[in-house]
Amino acid sequence: MKKLALSLMLGVAVACTAFAADPAKKPIVMKLGHIQNESDLWHLGALKFAELVDAKTKGEVQVKVFPNSTIGNDRDMAEGLQIGSVDFALIAGVLGNFEPSIQIMELPYLFKDETHLRKVMYGPIGDQILDNLLKSSDIRGLTFWERGPRQLTTNKPVNSLSDIKGLKIRVPEIPPIIAAWKAMGTNPTPMAWGEVYTGLQQNVIEAQENPIPFIHAGKIYEVQKYIAMTNHKYEYVLIAMSNKAWLKLNPQQQKAVKEAAAESTQYENKLVFEKSDNLLKDLQAKGMKVTKPDTTEWAKLARTVHQQFAEKYGIDLYNKIIEAGK
């Protein structure tokens, strides 16, 4: 009996040693891409998201962040999300080329203010848009981040609508934005963000429009002299995930990713709120001059294109968004 007990104890010890000696599972490493540089608030938010995913999964899932369009521009990354070559990406309106209802969110002078935008993004309308995106493109929108309103930068002061007549302005590759700027009398030119600085430097374009953090991080102050505070579009960006990548995770890991997305949203939105005013002051300190045109007529002209896109991409959704602002 003693020999048998000893044998059993030795067997258990050997089994435990063998189990302990098994190499740990390799972590699941996922890629997150975005188009901005390392100093931008997007990058800080992306790093926070990666940190939270690592902590919440105890290292089982690790997110590597690729800034500066190193894994592609917005369209490239969206296509990568579809086929599974990109796991996460920060993408805004370009996703409207993959899910039509997002085009409505891209209409200039659609939202009254940031409160209106938040009510849409973080309520049933936002949920509906994310559901549409998943069904139509196999891209899973985890959540929206705020970005602040878009402003116009130029090399001449802009105080009225006549000052932008014929202006060659860079815009993203988003049909509602292109149409609205045409309606306002400008010459909109679609261009990838990575080409904008050089385009302004070489006078290929004369102006561009983006939120203040983007203008600052992109060093637009080196190639433009003026900022017109037009607030023509209250902005967001999506933490988008490839559904193929999502399905590689177990339920606990999926839960951790969702929680990390929610917590990084709080972090990012707070950053945008706290930093935007200081970034604008720094742009002024770097020599940019600020004008505040009355945009009443701008909005009237921009809204002349709303109906055609609402009818094309979802009049019910458009009406819900308008109603949310009342």
Higher pLDDT, 161 or 20: 161
pLDDT of 9 over the 90 cut: no
Q: What is the mean pLDDT of residues 290-317?
A: 97
Task: Answer yes or no: is 14 within a domain.
Answer: no
Q: Which residues contact 2 (CB under 8 A, 6 or more apart)?
A: none
Q: Contact, 226 vs 215, CB < 8 A?
A: no
Structural domain containing residue 85: 27-324
Q: 6-11, long-range: CB within 8 Å, 24+ apart, which pairs?
A: none
Q: For residue 62, give the CATH number of its domain.
A: 3.40.190.170
What pLDDT was estimated at residue 311?
A: 96
147 DSSP 8-state letter? E
The per-residue pLDDT for range 213-246, each reduced to its tens digit, is 999 999 999 999 999 999 999 999 999 999 999 9
Give mean pLDDT, residues 65-75.
Answer: 95
Which token pair is 20?
């302990």
Give the rounded percent of residues in the chain with a pLDDT score beyond 70. 93
Q: Rounded mean pLDDT of the chain?
A: 92
**pLDDT at position 16, please?**
42
Average pLDDT of the segment spanning 169-193: 96
Does residue 12 fall inside a structural domain? Answer: no
pLDDT for 98-152, tens place per residue?
999 999 999 999 999 999 999 999 999 999 999 999 999 999 999 999 999 999 9
Residue 134 lies in a domain: yes
Within a domain: residue 13? no
Total-model pTM: 0.87
How many domains is the chain partitioned into structurally?
1
232 belongs to a structural domain: yes
pLDDT at 53: 98
Tell me which residue of 294, 276, 315 sits closest to 107, measured CA to CA: 315
Share above pLDDT 90 across residues of the chain, in percent, rounded to a whole number:
90
Both tokens of residue 125? 């309308």
Per-residue pLDDT, 92: 86
Alpha helices in the chain (DSSP H): 2-21, 41-56, 74-83, 102-105, 114-121, 124-137, 175-183, 196-201, 212-217, 243-246, 251-285, 296-302, 306-313, 315-324
Strand partners, 290: 227
Q: How far apart are the C-alpha atoms of 191 and 194, rounded to whole Å?
A: 8
Residue 155 falls inside a structural domain = yes
6 is a domain residue: no
Band of pLDDT at residue 24, cut at 50, 70 and 90: low
Residues 81-87 have a mean pLDDT of 97
In a domain, 288, yes or no: yes
**pLDDT above 90 (res 25):** no
